[in-house]
């Protein structure tokens, strides 16, 4: 099947746990790249560290498995030298929002053309289930044995506040929506953020008695609603999904090309 043309088959089965949503996001991403007809040699993936970051080893793209939280900074260097590359940066929630938070807001601000995917499973999985800045209060984790008192924040709101020009959210349950939002993100010229709420059945689910992967996906099904839907209007407790923002703004590499031109004239 064609999606297999985009992966490094020899590394499968992958290392993610049974029922981990990261694989579903990889699945949707590959289909998006395929549907857009992007040549693999024009695809560059930069990831950080963590469960999510292992995604870069599985794709048959130019792939950089960088440092914890630093993927966007590394990707910025690549993109500035090779603006023609399609750069995609998948990150975990701790990766993107804690240790990489500063890089994240400034990549949003610069509006550099790349697709940032926040694979938000609300936990540090690779290290064994510590709470993340997106876990939220009241959550059990190995570092929150008495339940977390840390408040979470909304990654999409942060992205918008920092100036990202495409911001969207979906979940690992809404598999077609992941594809359609990623497609829009790739087509958008500027910094795109797609948050995908995903399940970590091994640590988050088990510790918090959320059940297995199926129950966690059902929770995302039942507790989210599309932007502008009646369902969301009637119940503000639901988590909104969809495109929060899509605006045109000067893109960083294009603006730098103008600087090069200007410098040559002066």
Partner 1 sequence: MSHKTTPDICFVQGNEACVRGALYAGLRFFAGYPITPSTEIAEHLAEQLPRAGGRFIQMEDEIASMCAVCGASLAGAKAMTATSGPGFSLKQEAIGYAVMTEIPCVVVNVQRAGPSTGLATKVAQGDVNQARWGTHGDHSIVVLTASSVQDVFNVTIEAFNIAETYRTPVILLFDEVVGHMREKLVIPPEGEIPVVQRLRTEVKPGVNYHPYLPREDGRLPMSDFGGAHRYNVTGLYHDIWGFPTENPEQVDKLIHHLVDKLENRAEKLALWKEYYVEDAEHLLISYGSSARSARHLVETRRAKGDRIGLLELQTLWPFPAQLVREKTAKAKNIFMVEMNMGQVLAQVKQVVQRPDRVFLVNSMDGQMVTPADIGKIMRVVEGRGF
Partner 2 sequence: MDPVSIRAQWCKGCGICVAFCPKKALRLENEKAVHNPELCILCGMCELYCPDLAVTVDKSQKKPQATREVANES
Cis peptide before 93 (omega within 30 of 0): no
Please give the Cα distance from 240 to 151 (Å, whole number).
Answer: 19
Residue closer to partner 2, measured from CB, 227 or 249: 227
Q: Which does 234 bind (CB under 5 to 8 A by kind): partner 2, partner 1, none?
A: none
**Per-residue contact track with partner 2, 125 to 154, x per CB under 8 A?**
------------------------------
The token pair that represents 240 in the structure block: 């909104």
Nearest to 224 by CA among 152, 186, 168, 266: 168
The one of partner 2, partner 1, none whose footprint includes residue 29, by CB under 5 to 8 A per kind, is none
Distances (CA, A) of 113 to 34, 79, 187, 188, 195: 19, 8, 10, 8, 17
| From the list partner 1, partner 2, none, partner contacted by residue 20 (C-beta under 5 to 8 A by kind) | partner 2
Q: In terms of C-beta distances under 8 Å and separation of at least 24 residues, what long-range contacts does 4-12 make, across chains too?
A: 5/34, 5/40, 5/60, 6/30, 6/33, 6/34, 6/40, 6/59, 6/60, 6/61, 7/58, 7/59, 7/60, 8/57, 8/58, 8/59, 8/60, 11/57, 11/58, 12/58
Shortest Cβ 176–partner 1 spacing (Å): 28
Shortest distance (Å) from residue 234 CB to partner 1:
41
91 φ, ψ to 5°? -140, 155
Q: Which of residues 209-238 bind partner 2 (CB under 8 A)?
A: 212-214, 217-218, 226, 229
Cβ proximity to partner 1, 59 vs 182, nearer residue: 59
Binding mask 24-63 for partner 2 (x = CB under 8 A): x-xxx-xx--------------------------------
Interface positions with partner 1 (CB under 8 A): 11, 40-42, 44, 46, 56-57, 60-67, 70, 73-82, 84-85, 102-103, 105-106, 256, 259-260, 262-264
Could you say which of 5, 8, 12, 40 contacts partner 2 (CB under 8 A)? 12
Helix H or strand E segment including 261: helix 252-265
* Contacted by 67, from partner 2, partner 1, none: CB < 5 to 8 Å by type: partner 1
| Chosen residue from 8, 18, 41, 257 binding partner 2 by CB under 8 A | 18
Between the CA of residue 190 and those of 84, 163, 200, 210, 251, what are the distances in Å? 13, 10, 30, 37, 5
Residues in contact with partner 2 by the rule CB under 8 A: 1, 3-4, 7, 12-14, 16-24, 26-28, 30-31, 174-177, 179-180, 201, 212-214, 217-218, 226, 229
């Amino acid at each position: 099947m064609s999606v297999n043309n985009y992966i490094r088959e020899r590394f499968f089965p992958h290392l993610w746990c049974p029922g981990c949503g990261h694989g579903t996001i990889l699945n949707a991403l590959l289909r998006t790249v395929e549907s857009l007809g992007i040549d693999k040699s024009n695809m560059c993936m930069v990831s950080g560290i963590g469960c999510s970051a292992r995604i870069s080893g599985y794709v048959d793209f130019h792939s950089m498995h960088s440092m914890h939280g630093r993927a966007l900074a590394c990707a910025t260097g690549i993109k500035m030298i090779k603006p023609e590359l399609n750069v995609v940066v998948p990150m975990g929630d701790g990766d993107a929002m804690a240790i990489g938070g500063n890089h994240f807001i400034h990549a949003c601000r610069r509006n550099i053309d790349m697709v940032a995917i926040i694979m938000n499973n609300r936990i540090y999985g690779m290290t064994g289930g510590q709470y993340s800045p997106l876990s939220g209060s009241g959550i059990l984790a190995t570092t929150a044995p008495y339940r977390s008192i840390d408040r979470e924040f909304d990654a999409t709101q942060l992205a918008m506040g920092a100036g990202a020009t495409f911001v969207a959210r979906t979940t690992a349950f809404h598999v077609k929506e992941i594809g359609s939002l990623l497609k829009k993100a790739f087509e958008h010229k500027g910094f795109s953020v797609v948050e995908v709420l995903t399940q970590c059945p091994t640590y988050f689910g088990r510790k918090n008695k959320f059940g297995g992967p199926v129950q966690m996906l059902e929770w995302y099904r039942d507790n989210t609603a599309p932007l502008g839907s009646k369902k969301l209007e009637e119940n503000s407790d639901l988590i909104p999904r969809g495109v929060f923002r899509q605006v045109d703004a000067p893109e960083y590499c294009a603006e730098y090309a103008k600087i090069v031109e200007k410098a040559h004239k002066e």
